[in-house]
Each structure stands twice: as structure tokens, then as C-alpha cells.
């Protein structure tokens, strides 16, 4: 007859604590189980994960605050750029030269009859309202008739005037090579890079 004896680690054949355990003052019941040994480690891991998530949250908040601060600084720079003396000079130069060019190339005579319509009568009314706003520009020489029943565009238009290419080129180069334009472009590029 064969007898099988199962021994646990740290026990003798009769189930009593081994000599090394008795020497260290430990009994078999005092030995930690694997689940007990890993419980503190899992708690430490959980605490580390929570601390990491808290750190990431505050890092994200700090990043958002930095972005807002940069945007506010950019808005302050943009305001200073718009109010600068050089920008005002450039606006005046552009306005004067564009008006001068318009006086040179604007048509002397505009005459015509236009009949237009859209599929949607509301759209036809909106276009007619926009045309009425610019009535002072084209004057009484143009007759505009809306057609609210169908989509169409018919009519004839006569425009008389002159266009001086030399004047347009001269104004363009006058603006392009001015010191105010160079400073304006430099300041604008710096503002764009800061954005």
C-alpha cells in the first residue's frame, strides 16, 4: 500500500512548521498568502495612476491658460498695430491712391436696360434691393426691371470712359516702393507669425 503525503512550502511532513520557520519565530498561519502580498502593490499602483491623472488634468488646464494668455497678447499687439502711426499713414496712402485711380478710370457714361429674374421671387427682391443701394453710382442712365415670374437675364449696356494703364501702374509702384508700405508689410508679417 502506497501512502501519498503532500507537503506545503515551509512545513514538515507532519504538517508542523519547518525548522527554519521556527527559527525565525513564524508559524504557517503567519505566512502571507500571494493575494495578501499583492494587495499593497495594487493600492500603490492605483494611487500612482490617480496622481498621474491629476497631474495630467492640471497640465491641460495650464496649457489652456497659456493659450488664452497668448491670444490676449496677440489681440493687444493687433490693436497696437492697427493704431500705429505707420498703419494710419498706409491707410491714407491707399485711400488717396485708390480714389485717384477711380477718378481716372471711372466711366463717363453708363446707359442700359436690364431685365432680370430668379426662380425664387424673394431672391429677385433681394437683388433689386442691392441694386437700389448702388443707384447713386450708376445714376439714371440704367433702367433695371425685375421679373418675378421666371429666371432670366436680358438687356443691353453701354459704358464709355477711358482707362490709363500707365496711371494704374504708376500708382501701384508708388505704393509698392514707399517706406510706409515696407514697414506695414514687416509689422503685418510679425503679427501674423505671432498668431
pLDDT in tens, 88-140: 988 888 888 888 888 888 878 888 899 999 989 999 999 988 888 877 766 67
**Nearest alpha carbon to residue 19 among 31, 29, 10, 28:** 10
Tens of pLDDT, residues 145-166: 899 988 999 999 888 888 778 8
Predicted structure pTM score: 0.45
3-state helix/strand/coil string of the chain: CCCCCCCCCCECCCCCECHHHHHHCCCHHHCCCHHHHHHHHHHHHHHHHHHHHHHHHHHHHHHHHHHHHHHHHHHHHHHHHHHCHHHHHHHHHHHHHHHHHHHHHCCCEEEEEEEEECCCHHHHHHHHHHHHHCHHHHHHHEEEEECCCCCEEEEEEEEECCCCHHHHHHHHHHHHCCHHHHHHHHHHHHHHHHC
Q: What is the rounded CA–CA span in Å between residue 42 and residue 151?
A: 76
* Measured distance CA(175)–CA(184) in Å, rounded: 11
Amino acid at each position: 500500500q502506497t501512502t501519498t503525503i503532500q507537503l506545503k512550502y515551509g512545513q514538515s511532513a507532519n504538517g508542523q512548521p519547518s525548522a527554519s520557520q521556527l527559527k525565525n519565530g513564524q508559524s504557517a498561519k503567519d505566512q502571507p498568502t500571494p493575494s495578501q502580498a499583492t494587495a499593497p502593490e495594487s493600492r500603490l499602483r492605483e494611487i500612482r495612476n490617480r496622481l498621474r491623472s491629476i497631474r495630467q488634468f492640471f497640465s491641460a488646464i495650464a496649457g489652456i491658460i497659456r493659450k488664452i494668455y497668448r491670444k490676449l497678447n496677440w489681440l493687444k499687439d493687433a490693436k497696437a498695430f492697427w493704431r500705429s502711426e505707420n498703419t494710419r499713414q498706409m491707410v491714407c496712402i491707399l485711400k488717396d491712391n485708390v480714389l485717384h485711380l477711380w477718378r481716372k478710370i471711372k466711366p463717363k457714361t453708363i446707359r442700359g436696360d436690364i431685365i432680370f429674374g430668379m426662380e425664387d421671387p424673394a431672391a429677385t427682391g433681394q437683388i433689386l434691393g442691392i441694386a437700389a443701394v448702388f443707384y447713386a453710382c450708376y445714376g439714371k442712365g440704367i433702367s433695371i426691371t425685375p421679373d418675378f415670374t421666371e429666371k432670366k437675364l436680358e438687356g443691353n449696356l453701354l459704358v464709355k470712359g477711358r482707362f490709363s494703364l500707365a496711371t494704374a501702374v504708376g500708382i501701384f509702384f508708388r505704393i509698392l516702393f514707399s517706406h510706409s508700405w515696407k514697414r506695414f508689410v514687416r509689422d503685418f508679417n510679425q503679427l501674423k507669425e505671432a498668431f
